[in-house]
Amino acid sequence: MKTVEEIKAAIEAAVPGAGVEFVPNPSLSAQHSLRLAPESAVAVATFLRDDAELTLDFLSNVSGVDWPDKEVAEKVKVTRTVTKTVDGPDGQKVDQQVEETVEETRKHVEPGCLEAVYHLYSVSKKHGPLVIRLRTANRTDQIELPSLTPVWRAAEFQEREVFDLYGIVFAGHPDLRRILMWPEFKDHPMRKDYVEPDDFEYEPTAHDEVLKRAQEHKDSEQGTGIRDQEAAAK
């Protein structure tokens, strides 16, 4: 099989303006991947499937990955002018302007995203894997990605699963519903910031510590437990 860089060149030649980015994999598996721009993803996927040399006709695996917002602390050297009191030549205290270099820690938040990773193989040519990845703009409101189910039917249930557990909305999926959680469930359990519901169903008459914890959680809960939903249904 061609190397990932060669495949990237082939995609760029076949699909103009594809916006493909090479993502190196530093681990020893050396399975490097290509990040596609969501706008051209379906065109690129169709090319990968139909190209005579690649024929990546077998979509093996679709998985979601959550990359939460990350607070990054950097150390920056800052030079500033400071007034210092020093001993003068005749024994008096004199104020003097001194330049000083200080290390400062600056924090900034790198916005997170949700990612869908596809592993492609070729059944007819018996090669693979090629890893392609799609990223959403953020984790809250722009969570739409194009569905690759029209290209590979194998994505049908797997994209439903990613939608269910990560909350990525696959535009163009013919039947996007929850698959593992029940339909009334809110939230997406595989996200890193998911808080497990705390509705103490195992304790029919909560008392002592359990009661205390239940009351603490009553307001902060996300309303995802079975009891909450039963109450909401009534």
In the complex, which residues of this chain contact another protein (CB under 8 A)? 25-29, 31, 57-61, 63, 65, 117, 119, 123, 126, 129, 131, 149-158, 165, 172, 174-175, 178-182, 189-190
To 10 degrees, what angle do helices 4-14 and 41-50 make? 110
Q: Specify the residue, 17 or 26, whose C-beta has the smaller distance to another protein.
A: 26
Taking the complex as a whole, the smallest distance from the CB of residue 168 to another protein amounts, in Å, to 14
Q: Specify the residue, 157 or 200, whose C-beta has the smaller distance to another protein.
A: 157
Taking the complex as a whole, the smallest distance from the CB of residue 60 to another protein amounts, in Å, to 6
Q: Specify the residue, 95 or 184, whose C-beta has the smaller distance to another protein.
A: 184
69 alpha carbon, distance to own chain's centre: 9
**How many other C-beta atoms are found inside a 10 Å radius of the C-beta of residue 187?**
14
Say if residues 33 and 4 touch (Cβ distance below 8 Å). yes
Taking the complex as a whole, the smallest distance from the CB of residue 125 to another protein amounts, in Å, to 10
Taking the complex as a whole, the smallest distance from the CB of residue 213 to another protein amounts, in Å, to 20
Reduced 3-state DSSP string for 44-91: HHHHHHHCCCCCCCEEEEEEEEEECCEEEEEEEEEEEEEEEEEECCCC
Q: Specify the residue, 12 or 198, whose C-beta has the smaller distance to another protein.
A: 198
CA angle 68, 71, 74 (to 5 degrees): 145
Taking the complex as a whole, the smallest distance from the CB of residue 103 to another protein amounts, in Å, to 25
Q: Specify the residue, 57 or 198, whose C-beta has the smaller distance to another protein.
A: 57
Query: Which pair of structure tokens corresponds to residue 122?
Result: 């070729």
Amino acid occupying residue 111: P
